[in-house]
Structure 1
Amino acid sequence: MIYALVDVGSNTMRMNIYKCEEHSIKLLFGTKNPAGLAGYVENGSMSQKGIKKAISVLMEFKSIVDNFDIDELYVFATASLRNIDNSEDAVDQIQNKTGLNIDVISGEDEAILDFIGATKVVDVTDGLIVDIGGGSTELVTFENKKIINAISIPIGSLNLYKKCVSQLLPDKKEKKLIRDTIKSELEDIGEIINKPYKIICGVGGTVRATKKLNNSIYDLPDENIEIDIKNIKKILKILSKNSRDSLDAILQVVPDRIHTIIPGMMILNEVSKVFKSDQIVVSSYGVREGYLYDKILKEKALYGKP
């Protein structure tokens, strides 16, 4: 069976096409569009321009699907359409114009799907899943490959950039505002911080971009998937000088994240402090693969005692 899966994210809209056989999946094709939907949110609601942008990208994806022999096309949305005041109206407009059904998943469900996807390819028994998106961050604590807690907090790399940064890179005052905003959100999740989690299993575009920067700066092979937590602070220091060298360092490695990588890495840094983490292992699977396993292949997450 061949499935097309569209992830309507706050920063990037992605479409992957997978072949599924005997409970295993293989990526056949992938494409993305840096739609930046979180940037179209004004006073809590997505603007008509943002809705039209989502429609346009989905129609592009739909035209690509027409060239494949696809059994099913699934579309789901995360914080991009979940965390806006006009969610129902925006979804209705998009569905009516595209003819596609959109599954708006909750923050907790997104975190669970991250866990399902990541634990398929990363051999970590106990740890913390961290998925930093454009509009939200999902956290899952797990032990013996069973979920202990799964939550979502409404801060991401793009909405922090929009809220706190006036130019391309944040200045010293703006970095303090970003940090204070992150800390304020993390203070509200105290109930899940009951022990250290030394290993972070990183999911999503921000973490993958951080891996690329880490490998580039420290001259590591591209296939390296481990990041020493202490490197995060060092990389942030390199990128935060507001100089041409800082811009070049980002543009040469992750040009599509020039404005969001610093806010995203600051979330990662603060989360690692709270959970006293030492290392990040970057997963190639995340919410999209988790959605496929859960919704289509019917493989569910296991839960442990909180």
Structure 2
Amino acid sequence: MAYYGVIDLGSNSIRLVVYEVAGSARKPFSKKDFHSVINEKKIAGLSAYVSDGVFTQAGIDRAVEVLTEHLRRARNVGCDRVRVFATAVLRNCSNSKAATRAISDAIGLPVELLSARDEAHLGFVGATCDRDIERGTLIDIGGGSTELTRVEGGADSCGVSLPQGSVSSYAQFVSMILPTHDEMHVIEDAFAAHLDTLGDLEPYRAARLYGVGGSTRAAAKMYAAAFGTSGRPRTLELHQLDALLALLARNPRTFAHLAVKATPDRLHTLVPGCLIAITLMRALGAESLEICKYGVREGFLIRRILEA
């Protein structure tokens, strides 16, 4: 057995996952070759430390503080190797290289900045470690960005990143905890405008979307809590997501209380994530959204650690 730590530096949280990898693991790797023994998330709110496009020194200090705690935990459990990667919060700021270098120097470990294409591809690798995806579109609604990946013939292509996610939507457009009716429309319109920049959406049109990341899992948890389904649904249809927002419009208090129980750490980003998912399903003509258990972190483990 070997233990590998993967730290995901995101827009809202920084997560450490320690994987136990079987000594008999061989390519091609699948979920049978590893399992997580530690999965620890700390809310860092790094997107709030971006000012006029610049990732501030206070943000660097906060990232270093949380990363140092995670690295200490990884060392304490005897990790054979630890890797750190960052996504949109550092990728999209104007001082991206300098901020990434400053964090790397402070923690004594390289922070690997994933490109939009890297993030989309690794999401596909993670999503397919427990299932075959022959055709469809993979969506990863992150904190600061949303990735789209076309899947055709069991292979991924046309990976793109749109600079709007659930956390950035909340930060830009929501005044309280849950968005108002008008704020919801603003979030949808803003995301639709980003979709328009792609021009031709035909490569991404599909009857089924595959959802990677916490936003789609949170939507499934919330649906189960709101409508009493047994266990978290593995697939959400458009009318089910619409039903969640209808509940919010009809009874915000009930929605809020259910959300606190179902997804307490995503209370403020739950609705923005649902709105992005709904906008994508309508724009791409999708009938359903399949919820994937694994994603970018597992893809990073497979491609950047195990296969390396």
**Normalised-by-shorter TM-score class:** over 0.9
**Runs of 4+ residues deviating >4 angstroms:** none
TM-score by length of 1: 0.93
Matched, 1:179 2:193: no
Q: After the TM superposition, which residues 7-156 of structure 1 pair with which residues of structure 2 at under 5 Å, given as runs?
A: 7-21=8-22, 22=25, 23=29, 24-156=33-165
Matched, 1:273 2:282: yes
Alignment partners' CA distance in 1, 2:251 and 2:94: 35
Alignment partners' CA distance in 1, 2:204 and 2:71: 45
In the alignment, residue 79 of structure 1 is paired with which amino acid? A
Structure 1 unaligned blocks of 5 or more:
300-306
Q: 1:160 aligns to what? A: 169
Q: 1:240 to 1:131 in 2, by over 3 A?
A: farther
Q: After the TM superposition, which residues 188-207 of structure 1 pair with which residues of structure 2 at under 5 Å, given as runs?
A: 188-194=197-203, 196-207=205-216
**CA deviation digits over 1:4-41, x for unaligned, max 9?**
00000112211101122313222121100121211221
Instruction: Tell me the matched-pair count.
Output: 299
Higher mean alpha-carbon deviation, 23-32 vs 132-141, is at 23-32
Q: 1:106 to 1:194 in 2, by over 3 A?
A: closer
Q: CA deviation at 1:191?
A: 3.0
Q: CA deviation at 1:89?
A: 2.1
Higher mean alpha-carbon deviation, 157-166 vs 21-30, is at 21-30
Q: CA deviation at 1:148?
A: 3.2
In the alignment, residue 13 of structure 1 is paired with which amino acid? I
Alignment partners' CA distance in 1, 2:251 and 2:154: 41
Quote the sequence identity (%).
33
**CA deviation digits over 1:96-129, x for unaligned, max 9?**
2211210001011100000011011134321111
Q: 2:241 aligns to what? A: 232
Q: What secondary structure does 1:222 align onto? A: coil
Q: What secondary structure does 1:200 align onto? A: strand
Q: What secondary structure does 2:200 align onto? A: helix
Structure 2 unaligned blocks of 5 or more:
none
